[in-house]
């Protein structure tokens, strides 16, 4: 978003009145207001890519089959299935296991994943709706990009990840913002680190949001 330009229009009267007004200068109410800083896109994008890279490597280590597959033909078949078939959803199974994964992975794992994506966008000054869109796009990137060479995308994950991101991530953000309003000290540092540990680490390494 481009900063707003503030234009102060000074009415000039003729004669002495005009010279008096100019000598007095603008009143305090005429001082321009600084625009709010624009959202930063690069830190959340890099954060999401790094997070998904670590997650994908962890999957390959914990579940070598199918996530450590190296056969190019097989990888191609997985991607073909991902983009030619609908996302997995088995209505005969419990809702949070409808994609074949345990509910703990779907609820806890994807809930935390979504909240981390959403929180990083919010701390980089995204409004809530933009942070939600960012989380949804990042979730689709995970399902169709990082993970699709192992399994077909999950309809549950595509919807639950951003939804959980909005609820849990916004709660974390509001708590983090309240903590940042405290006076500098151990309490502020501890609360900030508990609510946004990865963000605090990135800021310590030089991130600007």
Residue 56 within any structural domain of the chain: yes
Residue 115 within any structural domain of the chain: yes
Residue 53 within any structural domain of the chain: yes
Average pLDDT over residues 16-44: 57
The domain total for the chain is: 1
Q: Which domain holds residue 115?
A: 42-204
Provide the pLDDT for residue 150: 94
Residue 131 within any structural domain of the chain: yes
Residue 21 within any structural domain of the chain: no
Residue 155 within any structural domain of the chain: yes
pLDDT tens per residue, range 128-186? 999 999 999 999 999 999 999 999 999 999 999 999 999 999 999 999 999 999 999 99
pLDDT tens per residue, range 100-131? 999 999 999 999 999 999 999 999 999 999 99
HEC string for the chain: CCCCCCCCCCCCCCCHHHHHHHHHCCCHHHCCCCCCCCCCCHHHHHHHHHHHHHHHHHHHHHCHHHHCCCCHHHHHHHHHHHHHCCCECCCCCCHHHCCCCCHHHHHHHHHHHHHHHHHHHHHCCCCHHHHHHHHHHHHHHHHHHHCCCCCCCEHHHHHHHHHHHHHHHHHHHHHHHHHHCCCCCHHHHHHHHHHCHHHHHHHHCCCCC
Residue 5 within any structural domain of the chain: no
Residue 23 within any structural domain of the chain: no
């Amino acid at each position: 978003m481009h900063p707003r330009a503030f234009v102060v229009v000074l009415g000039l009267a003729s004669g002495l009145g005009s010279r008096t007004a100019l000598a007095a200068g603008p009143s305090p109410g005429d001082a321009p207001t600084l625009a709010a800083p624009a959202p930063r896109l690069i830190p959340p994008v890099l954060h999401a890519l790094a997070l998904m890279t670590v997650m994908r490597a962890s999957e390959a280590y914990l579940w070598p089959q199918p996530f450590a597959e190296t056969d190019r033909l097989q990888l191609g078949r997985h991607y073909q299935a991902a983009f030619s078939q609908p996302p997995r959803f088995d209505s005969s199974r419990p809702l949070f296991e409808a994609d074949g994964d345990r509910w703990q992975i779907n609820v806890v794992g994807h809930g935390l994943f979504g909240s981390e994506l959403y929180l990083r966008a919010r701390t980089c000054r995204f409004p809530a709706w933009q942070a939600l869109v960012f989380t949804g796009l990042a979730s689709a990137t995970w399902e169709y990009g990082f993970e699709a060479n192992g399994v077909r995308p999950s309809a549950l994950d595509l919807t639950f990840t951003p939804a959980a991101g909005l609820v849990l991530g916004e709660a974390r953000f509001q708590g983090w913002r309240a903590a940042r309003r405290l006076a500098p000290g151990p309490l502020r540092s501890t609360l900030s680190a508990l609510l946004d540990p990865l963000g605090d680490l990135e800021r310590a390494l030089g991130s600007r949001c």
